Structures are given as structure tokens and as C-alpha cells.
Amino acid sequence: MSEQRAHEHKPETIYFVNGERESTTEDDPTVRRILAGAGFSPATDYTLRSENPPEDYDSEYDRKVKIHPNQRFQAQHTGPTPTSSPAQRRS
């Protein structure tokens, strides 16, 4: 069986990022892929943390993660949060 055909038949692994359901057929996606797949872009503006088992991936974006079914992750923004200036709020 070709590698492509084997990949097509892999079951999805369901996991959660900030409470949102995600899935993958990859055995070991990278931190970057997990963040980007969950809509956190650019991935380098976020850190990823696994709740169970507890593990911080900090800025190890190319690190592969062995995802377990129903594993829960938290993504956290690492930069400043934009806010409006007082002049913008009055408009």
C-alpha cells in the first residue's frame, strides 16, 4: 500500500484548543500546525500549553506533539493586546 493511501485511511484524532474542537490525521503535528489549524495566526504570536498531560511548549513551534484523543490545549497570545486610544473611544 502506498504511503499516500495509508495516510488517507488514518482515523482522525479529536482534540481541543481553547475549548474548540479540532481534528488531525497526523501522528505528531508540530506546535505551529496545531496553532495555525485552530486559527491562531501568525502562530509565533501565541504559545501553546497542554492541560492533560500538563506541558508548556512556549516558543517551540517546530516541536512535534503526540496528540491523545480529546487532549485539551490552551493557546495564549504573547504580544500586547491592541486597544483604542481615548480619542478613538469618543468618536
The pLDDT of residue 1 is 46
Confidence tier at 5 by pLDDT (50, 70, 90): low
| Residue 23 and residue 14 in contact, taking contact as beta carbons nearer than 8 Å | yes
**Domain spans of the chain, in order of start:** 3-79
Q: What is the CATH number of domain 3-79?
A: 3.10.20.90
Quick check: 24 and 66 in contact, CB under 8 A? no
Question: What are the DSSP E strand ranges found in the chain?
Answer: 13-17, 20-24, 46-51, 54-58, 71-77
* pLDDT tens profile 16-35: 999 999 999 998 999 999 99
Considering all CA atoms of the chain, what is the largest pairwise distance in Å, rounded to the nearest integer?
65
Per-residue pLDDT averaged across 36-62, rounded? 93
CA–CA separation, 90 vs 24, rounded Å? 45
